[in-house]
Amino acid sequence: MIAVRLADKSYRQMPSSTSKFLEQFQSKGYYSFAPNEQWTPNVNLYETESAYMVCVDLAGVEKDKIDLEIVQNRLRIRGHRAVPTTIDPTSTEPTPARIRVHLMEIDHGEFARDVELPANVHADEISARYHSGMLWIELPKRA
Q: Residue 13 pLDDT > 50, yes or no?
A: no
- Could you tell me if residue 41 is inside a domain? yes
- CA 113 – CA 76 distance, rounded (Å): 6
Find out whether 56 and 137 touch, Cβ atoms under 8 Å. Answer: yes
Instruction: Name which residue leads in pLDDT, 26 or 105.
Output: 105
- Could you tell me if residue 19 is inside a domain? no
Share the mean pLDDT of the chain: 81
Domain limits at 1?
A: 1-11+37-83+106-143
Give Cα 14 distance to the centre of its chain. 13
DSSP secondary structure letters along 49-84: SSEEEEEEE-TT--GGGEEEEEETTEEEEEEEEPPP
- Could you tell me if residue 116 is inside a domain? yes
Per-residue pLDDT band at 10 (split at 50, 70, 90): very low
- Could you tell me if residue 58 is inside a domain? yes
CATH of the domain at 78: 2.60.40.790
- CA 133 – CA 58 distance, rounded (Å): 5
Per-residue pLDDT band at 11 (split at 50, 70, 90): very low
- Could you tell me if residue 42 is inside a domain? yes
Strand order in the sheet with 74-81: 4-6, 66-71, 74-81, 109-116
Q: Residue 59 pLDDT > 80, yes or no?
A: yes
- Could you tell me if residue 74 is inside a domain? yes
Give every CB contact of residue 136 below 8 A, 6+ residues apart in sequence. Answer: 53, 54, 55, 128, 129, 130
pTM of the model: 0.70
Query: What pLDDT shows up at residue 95?
Result: 65
Query: What pLDDT shows up at residue 83?
Result: 86
Q: What number is the average pLDDT over the span 100-110?
A: 88
Percent with pLDDT over 90 in the chain = 53
Number of domains in the chain: 1
Q: What number is the average pLDDT over the span 109-131?
A: 94
- Could you tell me if residue 3 is inside a domain? yes
- Could you tell me if residue 2 is inside a domain? yes
